[in-house]
Chains A and B, each alone.
Chain A
């Protein structure tokens, strides 16, 4: 399941489905809205580009780390503190592949998938700066 959606997802069900034949390890990454003195978080995506980008990251992770199953669910819209933002579930035959594949997926998402977060505070809001601030000078995607 590769999805950008408003709704939350049943993480237990994703983990159960990830246990495909041959699975020896399942790794779950669950990114949640942290309470940095905020009221809510608002997420926005350029879905026409972001969804294909997530699919490509899943394909690359599967090939590079011999994954057996990948789920990526990135939520958009307004989320309260403690809500899930991003869920990544991967399975592999062995622990190193599962850990490495999960880590690869989150780092690639942070590098280049067009999704943005705004922290809404009592005084207004602030856009979360990207960790990879390269712009038009370096076209790579």
Chain B
């Protein structure tokens, strides 16, 4: 099945954005993002801590809805999902 991962701001500069991924059924959200983030050491270190958990300030969305840090380790992806990963917002 196909999912899309979008990084924004500093994470986009490190990892790119609008990344289309072909994943197997049962894939966990956090594992997908870890796999993509491993493209660059800086990108991975910006998003994940030493234990492989999302850093506290990182915001994760699935189809436009926030996903909590603990939930990212248990959320099973569905076909067509859009995952967004970004740092704290700074508009206005």
Which A residues fall within an 8 A CB radius of B? 31, 43-46, 48-50, 52, 74, 85-86, 106, 109-118, 127-141
* Extra pairs beyond A48-B82, A136-B67 (8, CB < 8 Å): A46-B86, A74-B91, A112-B89, A115-B89, A115-B91, A135-B87, A136-B60, A141-B66
Establish whether residues A44 and B9, one from each chain, have CB atoms under 8 Å apart when the complex forms: yes
- Known contacts: A136-B60, A136-B69, A139-B66. The answer to whether A86 contacts B90 by CB under 8 A is no
Least CB distance from B82 to A in Å reads 8
Which B residues fall within an 8 A CB radius of A? 6, 8-10, 12, 54-61, 64, 66-69, 71-72, 82, 84, 86-92
Q: When chains A and B are docked, how far (Å) is the Cα of A45 from the Cα of B86?
A: 11
Q: Which residues of B contact A74 (CB under 8 A)?
A: 91-92
Establish whether residues B91 and A110, one from each chain, have CB atoms under 8 Å apart when the complex forms: yes
Q: When chains A and B are docked, how far (Å) is the Cα of A140 from the Cα of B67?
A: 9
Establish whether residues A109 and B91, one from each chain, have CB atoms under 8 Å apart when the complex forms: yes
**9 A-B pairs in the complex with CB atoms less than 8 angstroms apart:** A110-B89, A114-B91, A115-B92, A135-B57, A135-B88, A137-B56, A137-B68, A139-B68, A140-B66
Q: When chains A and B are docked, how far (Å) is the Cα of A129 from the Cα of B88?
A: 7
Establish whether residues B88 and A86, one from each chain, have CB atoms under 8 Å apart when the complex forms: no
Q: Which residues of B contact A139 (CB under 8 A)?
A: 66-68, 71
Q: Which residues of A contact B84 (CB under 8 A)?
A: 46, 49, 114
- Known contacts: A135-B69, A136-B68. The answer to whether A113 contacts B89 by CB under 8 A is yes
- Known contacts: A118-B9, A130-B87, A135-B59. The answer to whether A49 contacts B64 by CB under 8 A is yes
- Interface centre among B57, B68, B69, B88, by most chain A C-beta atoms within 10 angstroms, is B88
